[in-house]
Amino acid sequence: MTSKQNEREQFIAGWSSGVLAQSTTLAQLRENCESENARIPLPAGCVVEALDAGTLRGERIMPEGAKEPGAILYHHGGGHVFGSAAAHRHLVARIADAAGLMAYNMDYPLAPEQPYPAGLDRALENYRFVLDQGVSPDRLIVAGDSAGGNLTVAMLLRARQEGLPMPAGLYLISPWLDLRPRAPVPAERVERDPLLLPDSIALWAKIYLGRHDPAEPEISPLLADVSGFPATLLQVGGAELLLEEALAFSGKLALAGVDLQLNVWKDQVHAWPLFHHEMPSDGLAAIAQAGAWIRSLPGQDC
């Protein structure tokens, strides 16, 4: 057994007894997500500056030696119902460090208190905010994991509709792109990846949707027209429940002529880079891959 296989198997074996899996209420899940992620250290030399601009909340992360004025705009995952910029700080800081760019790690309203379209409205405000900071769109990478990937793609649909410039790149980790009802999932699929359970997906989608149709492209971007989208890196785990929609979305991007790099990580679970501290072989390798991809984009080496 290789080191990364051992890391992954140990992680999966311990997941069900961990505090996130043991959370029984949404309030408890939110609290545990914050406390568990707060203990994970940042790369040496990273400086974090809190942002509080009107209704916008988040932070600017500046890795040691980062180049300006390029930047990453990141929206966190959490099923649209939990998670925060602070909880994802350790991941975003490592991505920024790998890319050599500063990052805007931004919050957005969560359901059920503020269901769709509140989070998307804020994401677009965050996009405008970053552009207003002087970040040129051709030096901007937008990114997100899971529900944050959903929000990031929907944000680009809104930006295109409103005539805003597209960014230089789109980086997606295990994006949740289809919120429509799902077919039953075989038990072995859940055993291979216990992080994102079918019942949880169904519940979080219902909470986020409110009275809206899940087939709306802003809610299920898998159904959207992706023409004119920027160069895209999509990383997805080979064991996760969102694999099929990631593959389908990648097909749409490719058919639309988008410069696409799709990487399916063998046997990996949902959003595994977030757990780089427990699965460093694949977690840190995926982050390094993203950093190299960002640096390879036109204009990012200036």
Active-site residue list: 146, 240, 270
Degrees, nearest 5: CA angle 182-184-185 = 105
> In angstroms, rounded to a whole number, what is the distance separating the alpha carbons of residues 290 and 115?
30
Q: Is the separation of the CB atoms in 241 and 255 below 8 Å?
A: no
The identity of residue 293, as a single letter, is W
Q: Is the separation of the CB atoms in 60 and 104 below 8 Å?
A: yes
> In angstroms, rounded to a whole number, what is the distance separating the alpha carbons of residues 218 and 153?
8
Residue 25 buriedness (CB in 10 A; 0-12 / 13-18 / 19+): exposed
Output the CA–CA distances (angstroms, integers) from residue 50 to 103, 105, 117, 265, in the order listed.
Answer: 12, 10, 25, 34
Phi, psi values for residue 58, rounded to 5°: 165, -150
Render the burial of 254-265: b for 16+ CB within 10 Å, e for the rest. Answer: eeeebebbbebb
> In angstroms, rounded to a whole number, what is the distance separating the alpha carbons of residues 155 and 162?
11
Looking up tokens 């311990």 gives 14
Degrees, nearest 5: CA angle 171-169-104 = 70
> Concatenated DSSP letters for 219-270?
TSGGGS--TTPPEEEEEEETTSTTHHHHHHHHHHHHHTT--EEEEEETT--T
